Amino acid sequence: MIRVMLVDDEPFILEGLSVLIDWEKYDCMIVAKASNGEEAFEYLKQGDIDLVITDIKMPVMTGMELLQTAREEGLSSAYFVILSGYNDFQYAQTAIKYEALDYLLKPVSADGLIEVIEKVKNKKKAAQGGDLADYEKKDKSEAATALFKDELDGMTSGIEHNDKDVINKNIDELFIKMGGDGTALSKKALDVNKNYLVFRLLHLAVELDKTIDQEVVMMYISDNILMSGTEMGTILHLKQFASEYAGYLASLRGTVSKGVLHDIEKELDVNYAQNITLKDFAAKYYVNSSYLGQLFRKQYGMSFREYLNMVRINKAATMLIKTDEKIGRIAEEVGYHDTDYFINKFISIKGCTPSKYRKNGNGQTEV
């Protein structure tokens, strides 16, 4: 049996990997889990590990540093698989240099893990000149037996297809098996179920749009699954969240992928003077406001509020050149009710006062 160690600083990913496949079915046994490279390094000193699956970016010691140290010190001959985010492929060459077995892109799929296991089996057979030794299978852990996988998978499927009936049916069955709000479960069992659900839901979002900020979406999911930090919350609360998340995924398939930022840009070009906020647009386009804020900063290099100020000041600059209206009136027309605040914003963006801008633009001075 292949002895596996999982290493990741995100608990939901650690637990998600633990239950993504039936490890025993593929002659594997998870013997250790670590939250950073240093912790994993200590496990490597203590035990016989065949396969290390590790995230690349972690506090204390990164996955790459763990691989490098293990190889340079001759600590372990375990096969290493490096897990990476979307923009980390520059590290692939280093991973290859230190003989990593594979380099997988997050979110990891079940097929990806199975393929890695097959690679390890083939290499071990080649090294041993025969079949792998068959270890005695152990009973599944409390965490595994307490996972309500069928209900959570059913709920996830309902969310993916935006099927309210399937969502509600599986949530009802989940709460029956949990005995209510989950307080009858051990903390470990509750964490396993919560982390598995976070893992599956985040995976759905990333499959639709790999540019999303995974940390923001993960926090959004986690904050809505739990009510008090230790309970699963009420049935109604979970059903409401599931419905909202189904809508969020639908928005990724449709509005976001077709250019929600372009739509917002056009609307701001017309309605810039209104008291409009990022949350207003998030509600209108059915997008999580934190995620929309991340999209804005990634696209324009500034926050939504900074972008709105830029649009307003540009409109004011045009009015200063093309009209004789007083500065106070122009400030109001572009959405500022405090003239001094408008002037300060104008200076920060245009580098001069509105009066000087007008004078330099058409030779007129402000009265």
pLDDT in tens, 128-141: 554 434 433 333 34
Is the model's pLDDT at 183 over the cut of 60? no
**Terminal CA-CA length for the chain:** 86
CA distances from 46 to 8, 61, 98 (A): 19, 18, 22
Report which listed range, 120-129, 142-151, 167-176, is most confident.
Answer: 167-176
pLDDT bin (cut points 50, 70, 90) of residue 274 is very high
* Confidence at residue 56, expressed as pLDDT on a 0 to 100 scale: 85
- Sketch the domain layout of the chain as residue ranges: 2-128, 143-256, 259-367
* Confidence at residue 16, expressed as pLDDT on a 0 to 100 scale: 85
* Confidence at residue 12, expressed as pLDDT on a 0 to 100 scale: 81
Cross-strand partners of 5: 32, 52
Same fold, 2-128 and 259-367: no
Q: Which of 197, 119, 123, 124 is nearest to 154 (CA)?
A: 197
* Confidence at residue 182, expressed as pLDDT on a 0 to 100 scale: 54
* Confidence at residue 367, expressed as pLDDT on a 0 to 100 scale: 33
Please state which architecture CATH assigns to domain 2-128: 3-Layer(aba) Sandwich (3.40)
What pLDDT, in 10s, does the model give residues 187-206? 666 767 777 787 788 888 87
For residue 359, count other CB atoms closer than 10 A to its CB.
15
pLDDT bin (cut points 50, 70, 90) of residue 117 is very high
* Confidence at residue 59, expressed as pLDDT on a 0 to 100 scale: 86
* Span 206-230, average pLDDT: 66
pLDDT bin (cut points 50, 70, 90) of residue 310 is very high
CA distances from 120 to 51, 83, 101 (A): 8, 16, 8
Query: How many whole angstroms separate alpha carbon 232 and alpha carbon 234?
Result: 7
* Span 297-310, average pLDDT: 90
- The CATH T-level fold of domain 259-367 is Arc Repressor Mutant, subunit A (1.10.10)
Q: Which residue has the higher pLDDT, 273 or 57?
A: 273
pLDDT bin (cut points 50, 70, 90) of residue 70 is confident
Q: Which residue has the higher pLDDT, 186 or 124?
A: 124
* Confidence at residue 230, expressed as pLDDT on a 0 to 100 scale: 41
* Confidence at residue 229, expressed as pLDDT on a 0 to 100 scale: 42
* Span 79-95, average pLDDT: 67
What pLDDT, in 10s, does the model give residues 10-19? 888 888 888 8
Q: Which residue has the higher pLDDT, 147 or 34?
A: 34
DSSP letter string, 247-306: HHHHHIIIIITTTHHHHHHHHHHHHTTS---HHHHHHHTT--HHHHHHHHHHHHSS-HHH
- Using the Cα atoms of residue 43, residue 45, residue 51 and residue 55 in order, give the sign of their dihedral: positive
Q: Which residue has the higher pLDDT, 257 or 246?
A: 246
Residues 6+ apart with CB under 8 A from 69: 37, 41, 61, 75
* Confidence at residue 149, expressed as pLDDT on a 0 to 100 scale: 84
